[in-house]
Amino acid sequence: MKDHFNRTIDYMRISITDRCNLRCRYCMPDGCEKVPMDRILTYEEIERICRIAARLGIRKIKITGGEPFVRLGCTDLIRTLKSIDGIDSVTVTTNGQILSRYMDDLKDAGVDGINISLDTLDPQRYAYITGGGSLDRVLEAIRLAAESGIPTKVNSLIQKGFNEDEICRLASFAFQEGVLVRFIELMPIGIADPSQGISNELILQMLLEEWPDLGKDSRPHGNGPAVYYSRPHTAGGIGFISAIHNVFCSSCNRIRLTSQGQIKPCLSYDTGIDLKPYLKGTDEELEAALREAILSKPVGHCFEEKRFGSEEHRLMSQIGG
Ligand code: SAM
Ligand code: SF4
């Protein structure tokens, strides 16, 4: 359906858990509070919300978290959501630490794409930024995912003083492995320090100095606002998701469902509609609440100017990245 600003809303990102097997320093600090399991939506509730969302025109779903694969039954949920009339695509975002053991199931479930987060190719740095993760495991997951034929993208978040010296190395990785590496601008959510962020414009300039043949790639590669570049006769490519420096709110097509059942119309605000009470009612009541949530989507994010004092302070892992 269309929102108040004539944007077609056809994409829902669903956080199925706030828990994670890593502790990325900008996302989920050690010792942060976990939501009790009885406050997390059941898979049946998620399926029901998706059926109703499909009636309102949601066509694409992204499963995220926290780390989606730490919740048992994640691949079964993907299979179920794939079978809903009107849903064209179900993709998943993961840190890749335990992805390898689910690859066959995922393929069988018909997942339409896998995004794997990887900020550095240095094992010590990887362990540092993720609070103990294994670079080997995520690299193996990326290879397996790419070999499986499922469209695979790597998401890299660059931060000043941490991995800015790896920008070209990560791009080389994209060309060597034949995958898309997307640079994501750091957003001021939760504990992330916005002064650490680097603009994608700067990253593109650096890449063009290294690879002057890098050109705009207008082929569609996904559901979101990423802008892609590729090189002639070279596999793989580079994407840019520039939430801060190239505001794409006017074409935003998404809403989010948190693990506790709140619909967040925009990532940057802490406002939304809690669907939990409506889950006790009829499908029509739930549909009306979802419709209201879509219609309450603001015109744009508030990352740069703080409006209404309602900017998001929860952790990225709690709202779903
Ligand atoms: N655990 C999964 C993973 O790491 O891919 C899925 C959830 S994680 C929150 C999804 C993505 O959000 C990751 O690529 C992570 O780097 C990104 N992320 C976390 N905090 C962020 C922030 N403040 N700004 C931009 N991206 C962020
Ligand atoms: Fe976990 Fe993903 Fe957050 Fe890292 S970015 S702590 S892997 S949810």
Q: Which ligand is nearest to the CA of 94?
A: 1
Which residue lies with its CA nearest to atom 8 of ligand 1? 321
CB 89, CB 41: distance < 8 Å: no
CA of 3 to the centre of ligand 2 (A): 30
49 CB near ligand 1 (under 6 Å): no
- Pocket probe mutation, ligand 1, options 25, 137, 153, 184, max atoms within 8 Å of Cβ: 184
Residue-level pLDDT, tens digit, the chain, 321 residues: 999 999 999 999 999 999 999 999 999 988 888 889 999 999 999 999 999 999 999 999 999 999 999 999 999 999 999 999 999 999 999 999 999 999 999 999 999 999 999 999 999 999 999 999 999 999 999 999 999 999 999 999 999 999 999 999 999 999 999 999 999 999 888 888 888 999 999 999 999 999 999 999 988 887 678 999 999 999 999 999 987 876 678 889 999 999 999 999 998 888 899 999 999 999 999 999 999 999 999 887 777 665 445 567 777 877 777
CATH class entry, domain 11-319: alpha beta
Predicted local confidence at residue 64, as pLDDT? 97
| Residues of the chain by 3-state class (helix, strand, coil), percent to 5 | 35, 20, 45
Ligand 1 pocket mutation pick from 93, 102, 203, 268 by most atoms within 8 angstroms of CB? 93
Ligand 1 atom at minimum distance from 65 CA: 7
Closest ligand 1 atom to 26 CA: 20
Residue 272, token pair as written in the block: 């939304």
Calculate how far, in angstroms, residue 96's C-alpha sits from the geometric centre of ligand 1: 12
Name the E strands within the chain: 11-15, 60-64, 89-94, 113-117, 152-157, 180-184, 215-217, 227-230, 237-241, 254-257, 262-264, 273-274
Pocket lining: 20 vs ligand 2, CB cutoff 6 Å: yes
315 touches ligand 1 (CB under 6 Å): no
CA neighbours within 13 Å on the CB side: how many for 319?
23
| Strand order across the 11-15 sheet | 215-217, 227-230, 237-241, 180-184, 152-157, 113-117, 89-94, 60-64, 11-15, 254-257, 262-264, 273-274
What pLDDT is recorded for position 137?
98
Pocket test for ligand 2, best of 15, 189, 316 (most atoms within 8 A of CB): 316
Q: How far is the CA of 58 from the centre of ligand 2 (A)?
A: 26
d(CA 304, CA 268): 10
For ligand 2, atom 8, which residue shows the shortest CA distance?
Answer: 66
Structural domain boundaries in the chain: 11-319
Residue 3, both tokens: 């929102």
The residue whose CA is least distant from atom 3 of ligand 2 is: 27
Q: What are phi and psi of 14, to 5 degrees?
A: -120, 120
At 257, list the tokens: 């469902």
- Do the Cβ atoms of 10 and 57 come closer than 8 Å? yes
